[in-house]
Amino acid sequence: MIPIKDYPGPRRRLPWVTWGIIAVNIVVFLYQVSLGPDAPAFMFAYSVVPVALTHGVPQTSLPGVPAHLPFHTPNPVYLTIITAMFLHAGWLHIGGNMLFLYIFGDNVEDRMGHLPYLVFYLFCGVIASITQVAIDPGSPVPSLGASGAIAGVLAAYLVLFPWARVRTIIFIFIFFTIVTLPAIILIGLWFLLQFFDGVASLSTVQQGMGGVAYFAHVGGFIAGLVITLLFRPLLRPPAPTSYPYLPRHSGAVNAREWWQRP
């Protein structure tokens, strides 16, 4: 499922923080690509490596890592929990993450405010990394990406705009279709996929294999959900037209009208 546009209602301020986060991620990724053969070493130096955090194992002693990394791991190593949020493993990785952040982040920032939203984003990313480390503390596989923090943003969107309409591309084998789904369905399905894929991945964790950090997504999502529910009474109320999925006339929602709206 790939969201391409949402309809949560008008914004009342420009999402400078969301745009800034996207810009920083893109700049870091382009720099990473420009490193050529040294790009993997750059990712390894600034990613979260669970065994380095839990056992103090130097990253240069891990399998497949050069004895002398051309980049210095942050000191203390726990700072990689922050730096890893701005690294990505490839074009699809960063493209997917930034698309989700672009679609859902602006309206969450509008409700939270710029600085609280930035703190919220970073906090969810930290909890996401901690969750992944807790699930697989002895792993030498680096964990990186903004998806844990973005999972928290999705959770906030789910709480604040549950019935906002989201245009979504759904792939079925080699075919695809575009449908309009309420956020509660789209994001709810996304979370369930992350959770069950995470449970299924536990066997690969036990074998010391790498893969998608599903539990980082789960941890970031739960953190975002809890924080948003706790602080929702303190957030600015939605704009009067924040719910365009409702028909303009009073009375019950007509399902056919809802689905036929753009």
**CATH number of residue 47's parent domain:** 1.20.1540.10
- Phi and psi angles of residue 104, each rounded to the nearest 5 degrees, phi first: -105, -20
Residue 200, domain extent? 2-260
pLDDT tens, residue order, the chain (262 aa): 889 989 877 778 899 999 999 999 999 999 999 998 888 888 888 999 898 888 877 766 666 666 566 777 777 888 999 999 999 999 999 999 999 999 999 999 999 999 999 999 999 999 999 999 999 888 888 899 999 999 999 999 999 999 999 999 988 888 889 999 999 999 999 999 999 988 887 766 555 555 678 899 999 999 999 999 999 988 877 766 544 444 433 333 444 444 434 4
pLDDT of residue 236: 79
pLDDT of residue 228: 97
**Measured CA distances, 139 to 81, 133, 211 (Å):** 15, 8, 11
**Close Cβ partners of 215 (under 8 Å, ≥ 6 residues apart):** 131, 132, 135, 198
Total domains present in the chain: 1
pTM: 0.86
Count each helix (H run) and each strand (E run) in the chain, helices first: 11, 3
pLDDT of residue 107: 94
Nearest to 222 by CA among 146, 121, 128: 128
pLDDT of residue 144: 94
